A and B are shown apart, each in its own frame.
Chain A
Amino acid sequence: MLEIKNLHAELEDDGKKILKGVDLKLEPGKVHAIMGPNGSGKSTLSYVLSGRDGYEVTEGSATLDGEDILELEAEERAAAGLFLAFQYPVEIPGVGNMTFLRTAVNAQRKARGEEELSAADFLKVVRAKAKTLKIDGDMLKRPVNVGFSGGEKKRNEILQMAMLEPKMCILDETDSGLDVDAMKLVSEGVNALRDEGRSFLVITHYQRLLDHIKPDVVHIMAEGRIIKTGGPELALEVENNGYADLLAEMA
């Protein structure tokens, strides 16, 4: 599925090196978690993979099913099946949520040479999926994320994921700003999408999200690299002992 080799990236404007040789391989159907202290490069990794401006890849590669995604525009990566659930979903005044969803779904279908969904078909699908995420008609009508609570924004991210049906989902601190109930709802949404053809990369600070979205593999990231990889027990170890021991090992 996703294969990252020796990925180095720096900030375009000041040349600050953030990723210093990330190696990662995700098999189809697997859930990998990345944990790590602040400033370790977790979010940068998600932005570099999804094609945000402002980063320069200086070395290494990232492929999705063998295709070099670093050469693609952000929208082409999306059409290829990559999805980033944002840590801070963006508010877009003036664009209705439904319009946004339909534009995105049809843009991807068009890019893949598929027929666009009719308004009626789209509405039927979106209503059903919104219902399971407890997203009401009002939230669908309102401008994208404008006036949404933290939990509503994250649920809206998962709704987009459910509508776009990507094969590679990156969740960037999806648990941030969520209360226990909202986290449960969001996790259920994610778990409902787990499928043998779909992989997840879950970026988080805390173990608690991983109680709900159970990972197959846990990576610890620090100073721009993966410093340790293990099973779910690694997340528990971090939860109990913090990152200090791991960082000390690295030094």
Chain B
Amino acid sequence: MAVAETKNTQLVADIPVTTGWTLAAREDAKARLAAAGLPGRRDEYWKYTRPDAMTAAEAPAGEFVDYGEAPVFSEVDRLKIVFVDGVYDAAQSDDLSLEGVTIERLEDAASADIHWAQDLYGTLETAGQTPVARPLATLNTASAKDGILLNVAGKVSKPISLVYHYASDTSDAMLHHVVKLAEGAEITVLENGPAAARFNTVMEVDVADRASFHHVRTQGRQHVRNSATHIFARTGEESQFRSFTMTVNGTLTRNEVVLDIQGDNALAHVAGVAAGDGNAPQGYHHDDTVFVTHDAVNCESRQVFKKVLRNGATGVFQGKILVKPDAQKTDGYQISQGLLLDDDSNFLAKPELEIYADDVACSHGSTVGAIDDEALFYLRSRGVPAADAQDLLVLAFLAEAIDEVADEAIRELLLTRLEAWLARRRA
């Protein structure tokens, strides 16, 4: 990649502090970025999604639309941590103390000389650069000022809820979170909110043996928002990792999940629902890029991604399961499906399996289709109005992905959001 060519016109890593434990990781990231360069349109990994908005020197202006709905997790008993345009806001946040977890703000912790997160910050991100480079994450490691560091020692009684408020249409935010779960620890992390006009996040998650990490995220609220997120996780023996993302609205969303299953008998589920309307001012483009590596025996991984698209919206799925030679008894499943509500929308899928072990069960499927006319008529013939019948079928299509959310109350909150999105279509 031509770094010299891009340097003048595009983002360069800007290291925020010059002392403390993060400095080495940030300098390393800056050097790696200089060597690799930012993603360009010709990169194979960016074949279906244009990175321009994420790499431009200035953040493209955003636009927040207020539907008057309460934020999605308002009713959940949680510990709330608020960021406004990507900056931690103590006044709106809860007290950062909760049994079983140490919570610190990255910016506060970064000036210390030594820190528990030192072994993780940038480390999992670096590991996730092979075999495919993810320069936006490297940029984040070098440049992100703020974020949350969670050191989870036990079973945490309520979710940590990261709430991203939006104040300025020109906000350009980067957050870098690190979550470390000790053996047997359990935590749920929620993320929601419109965040910023341009939003780049990295979450590095280290799940020790028998630990359990649950993550549920919603992205929405702005029609015009450009965002790229990365989750890098490594998981230990008999651990559980579950991450679910629901995305409605957004000019560009690229969600990458890079999972390294290192301990035997572990479970890892990644799922997502995207609902997009291309009639938004700058359209809708949603990309899920997932890379799951099995490097342990008898582990189960699932990728379940469903997208419902209309009015020229585009959905992308790039998902890979890599099974290393010793990862016998792997049970890998991957499904990606697009439901197109008209002839203008697109769903582009690149499912991949790469298997070097001989005793595994891996399956993958990818489909794209329209609403089933037979089912629609069946419902209408029973008196269900056409628009209601279509909504019912859309929700039925999304159900397999939503069912990946283990918590029923949270599942209901997500369904309510989707129903509202569907209802707005009729207005």
B335 to chain A, nearest CB (A): 13
Q: Which residue of B lies closest to A91 (CB)?
A: B375
Across the interface, B397 reaches (CB within 8 A) one of A94, A99, A108, namely A94
Out of B373, B381, B384, B389, which one reaches A50, CB within 8 Å?
Answer: B381
Interface contacts (Cβ under 8 Å), in number, total 80
Contacts of B382 in A (CB 8 A): 78, 100, 104, 107-108, 160, 164
Known: A103-B392, A104-B384, A143-B396. 19 other contacts (CB 8 A): A73-B380, A75-B386, A75-B389, A78-B380, A86-B381, A90-B372, A90-B374, A90-B377, A90-B378, A92-B372, A92-B375, A92-B393, A92-B396, A94-B396, A104-B383, A107-B382, A108-B382, A160-B382, A164-B382
B183 beta carbon closer than 8 Å to chain A = no
How many Å lie between the Cα of A60 and that of B226 in the bound state? 57
In the assembled complex, 27 residue pairs joining A and B whose CB atoms fall closer than 8 Å, in A order, are A50-B381, A52-B381, A73-B386, A74-B377, A75-B380, A75-B383, A75-B385, A75-B386, A77-B381, A78-B382, A84-B381, A86-B381, A90-B374, A90-B377, A91-B375, A92-B379, A92-B396, A94-B395, A95-B396, A99-B392, A100-B379, A103-B379, A104-B379, A104-B383, A105-B383, A143-B396, A164-B383
A180 within 8 A of B: no
- Cα separation A77 to B374 with both chains bound (whole Å): 17
Is the CB–CB distance between A51 and B400 below 8 Å? no
Chain B at the A interface: mostly helix, strand, loop or mixed? helix
Interface string of A85-113 (1 = CB under 8 A from B): 01001111111000110011101100100
Name which residue of chain A comes closest to B382, CB basis: A104
Measured as residues with beta carbon below 8 angstroms from the partner, the interface class of chain B is: 20 to 34
A95–B392 contact, CB under 8 A? yes
A95 to B91, CA, bound (A): 44
A71 interfacial by beta-carbon distance below 8 Å: no
In the assembled complex, which residues on chain A have CB atoms less than 8 Å from the CB atom of B374?
Answer: 90
Residues of B within 8 A of A237 (CB): none
Interface residues of A, Cβ cutoff 8 Å to B: 50-53, 73-75, 77-79, 83-84, 86, 89-95, 99-100, 103-105, 107-108, 111, 143, 160, 164
Picked from B372, B381, B388, B389, the residue with its CB within 8 Å of the CB of A51 is B381
- Which B residues are CB-close (under 8 A) to A105? 383
In whole angstroms, how far apart are the Cα atoms of A164 and B396 in the complex? 23
Residues of chain B touching chain A, judged by Cβ–Cβ distance below 8 Å, are: 372-375, 377-386, 388-389, 392-393, 395-400
When C-beta atoms are compared, the residue in chain A nearest to B384 turns out to be A107
Chain A residues within 8 Å of B379, by CB: 92, 100, 103-104
**Interchain CA distance A104-B382 in the complex, whole Å:** 6
> Pick the contact of A107 from B383, B393, B399, B400 — CB < 8 Å?
B383
B380 and A74 contacting across the interface, CB-CB below 8 Å: yes
B residues near A51, Cβ cutoff 8 Å? 380-381
Tell me which residues across on chain B come within 8 A of A104, comparing CB atoms.
Answer: 379, 382-384
Q: Are B373 and A53 in contact (CB under 8 A)?
A: yes
CA distance A78 to B378 in the complex (A): 11
Q: A90-B375, A94-B399 are in contact. Are A78 and B383 (CB under 8 A)?
A: yes
B288 to chain A minimum Cβ distance, whole angstroms, is 20
- Minimal beta-carbon separation of A155 from chain B (angstroms): 16
B378: which A residues are within 8 A, CB to CB? 86, 89-90, 92
